[in-house]
Structure 1
Amino acid sequence: MTARVPSSALADRDIMRVGSTLNTLLDRLTEDRARERLLAAQVISAQDEERARVARELHDSTAQILTAVMLQLGAAARESTTPALDARIVTLRELAAEALEEVRSLSHTMHPRVLDDLGLAAALEWLARQARAQGTMDVQVDACEFDPPIPASVAAALYRVAQEALRNATRHADAQRVDMRLRHEGTSAVLEVEDDGVGFDVALAEQRRPGMGLFSMRERVGLVNGQLSLRSVPRRGTRVVATVPLTT
């Protein structure tokens, strides 16, 4: 939207008026798009901050309470002299253990600490393990190390792209295998997520299936000055590629 109608001393006054009006409209459109982009950035930032807060609360409070419950139940089991009570305590400990595992999994899903502590490659491996544990889909990761490490904002954006692409492969694609590849290409980090699922019509999906998160993936990558491409062919799988510069 950088083109403008040039002014000229030789132009007809009505033409100049139309040109001026058009330029004003283009300026306003550019400003509106800039405001929309800023708003999208603020929304995504607020979401990430809230995710991190909830994840910390789950890990530091809820998980600790459940751990304490399990310890108390263990103590009660050692002191119990009634077989019926013993059986009930065992059941309660199993339920508490399941709840603790769910809380930990939810905390990692909301904001994985491994991303902050060990970096993007380790976080992708964690995603793959979670996906393999939940179903029959084979998820493989081929990630190179970055020195210096990928900036936190870029790592977070690429992680969310991988998470969303993997979620789509699980929910919509009926995929048997997903490959996640992270590589260094020139001065950019490149993430590829490719599945062997049923594929889909990309243009139609963006109009009719907002739940697939395509807009969110593009916005996240755009906010770190990157580009996202998506290729999908019905019955031939889907390939998502996010390319983000590591230098400003």
Structure 2
Amino acid sequence: MLETINWIERYFDEVTDAVFIFKEEHLLVSNQLAKDLEDELNIDPNYLAEVANTSVKQKLSPSDDCFKCSIRNMMKEISIPITLANDKPHPLEYFLIYHVIDADNHVFSLTLKSRGIIERMDQVAQQRQLNQYVNRAHEEERKKISADLHDSIAQGVYSAIMGVRRLQEEHLDEASTQALARIIERQLTDTLTEVKGMALDIRPSVLDNFGLLPALRVLAQRTEENSGIDVDVVGKANTDQLSTNVQSVLYRIAQESIHNALKHAQATEISILLVAHDHFINLEVIDNGVGFDVPKHRQFNGRSLGLMNMNERVKALNGSFEIISAPGNGTTVTAKFPVTSLKGEH
């Protein structure tokens, strides 16, 4: 038992956060880091306790004067932003964590955690989560391409090979030979069309050769042909000054937005607007579909994964991304990039 107490005391002294434990407003014990901060920054622990209790009272807004009763019924822990060493060249920003240990006797701890460290940890965690989502999206795309290659392209090529073998191995008359040759040619033509379609989905050559606006018009035409849905493209933007990366992202946003409108929104009309202003370029994809509750789709499913992927691609290039939608009111997806920051990018 004594050894266990020694371990607890050692951990308490070596923990990387400053910890103060109070009863009422009286300091009972503090760890080594708390004592060091007390000396170096001239911190009064009673001041910290006063700040914490004031914040707790404000958060609780008790209807009576029974503060201990309120404490007993409150959440076990709250976080209070606080800045120390205001009189120094570099003030220190912390979170003051108020934790209830014994509500009946009003024993509580105050822990000082560096806001910078917490924010960096949050950023690392968010980046790891984002990497997982992006990797999942890439893996799903690879699966789709693999399935298309196997189910469609490979089968078409295999059928053509079997037809060629028949031409080589069987003694067919002239009419049968010509008929089989036409079948093989049709199979190869269909397969070539599918290959071109896959290549266009992955990256349209018109985007590289002619720019964003023509690529959006080709995308709209293909969508109309394949789905029967009306897709209009309206634009007066000269996209020559846009970097290749930005044009690619804007194209992908239009592509993903159209995909969502067809798959999820039951839209019958889609409009793509591309407008250049003095300092930014703006893309809007508007559909008249059933719409959706945007906050609910922040949970990660197939649809929100595509939306998050779009959002992160835009943010990575210093753009802004917004989705406006509500059940029954359609959806508008907007991406905006500052033009000045794009010049010179490659």
Superposition deviation, residue 10 in structure 1: 4.3
Q: Name the CA distance, whole Å, in 1 between partners of 2:186 and 2:288.
A: 37
Q: Answer with 206-215 or 219-228: which moved more.
A: 206-215
* Structure 1 segment 40-119 matched on structure 2, within 5 A: 82-119=174-211
TM-score (norm 1): 0.75
Show the counterpart of 1:242. 335
Matches within 5 A, 1:163-182: 163-182=255-274
TM-superposition CA deviations, 1:52-90 (whole Å, max 9, x none): xx9xxx9xxx9xxx8xx8xxx8xx8xxx85212222221
Structure 1 position 29, deviation (Å) = 2.6
Pick the structure with greater CA Rg. 2
Task: Give the number of the structure whose residues are more often helix, by fraction.
Answer: 1
**Mapping for residues 1-248 of structure 1, pairs under 5 Å:** 9-12=41-44, 15=48, 21-23=113-115, 25-29=117-121, 32=124, 36=128, 82-146=174-238, 148-207=240-299, 209-212=301-304, 213-248=306-341
**Displacement of 1:227:** 0.9
Bigger mean CA deviation after superposition, 24-33 or 218-227: 24-33
Distance 1:83 1:217 in 2: 55
**Does the Cα contact within 8 Å between 1:196 and 1:236 map onto a contact in 2?**
yes
Q: 1:209 to 1:176 in 2, by over 3 A?
A: same
Report the AA paired with residue 12 of structure 1: D
Match of 2:256, SS state, is helix
Structure 2 letter corresponding to 1:83: A
Give the Cα–Cα distance (whole angstroms) in 1 for the partners of residues 179 and 239 of structure 2: 54
Distance 2:285 2:279 in 1: 20
Q: 1:9 Cα shift?
A: 3.6
RMSD value, Cα:
3.5
How far apart are residue 37 of structure 1 and its match? 9.4
CA contact (8 A) 1:151 1:246 kept: no
1:171-198 Cα deviation digits (max 9, x unpaired): 1111111000000123111000000111
Distance in 2 (CA, whole Å) between partners of 1:194 and 1:167 is: 12
**TM score, norm. by length of structure 2:** 0.55
Which secondary structure does the structure 1 equivalent of 2:335 belong to? strand
Partner Cα separation in structure 2 for residue 39 and residue 129 of structure 1: 34
What code does the residue aligned with 1:231 have?
Answer: I
Q: Which amino acid aligns with 2:178?
A: D
Distance 2:337 2:205 in 1: 22
Task: Extract structure 1 runs of 4+ deviating beyond 4 A.
Answer: 13-20, 33-40
1:34 deviates by 8.1
Aligned counterparts of 1:124 and 1:208: Cα–Cα separation in 2: 28
Match of 2:99 in 1: none
Alignment partners' CA distance in 2, 1:137 and 1:43:
31
Structure 2 segments unaligned to the other structure (5+ residues): 1-37, 49-83, 85-93, 97-110, 342-346
Q: Is the 8 A contact 2:311 2:321 kept in 1?
A: yes
**SS of corresponding position for 1:179:** strand
Cα pair distance change 1:155/1:183, threshold 3 Å: same
Higher strand share: 2
Gaps of 5+ in 1: 1-6
Give 1:145 shift: 3.2
Structure 1 residue 232: deviation in Å? 1.1
SS in 1 for 2:228: coil
How many residues are paired up? Answer: 220
Q: Secondary structure at the match of 2:299?
A: helix
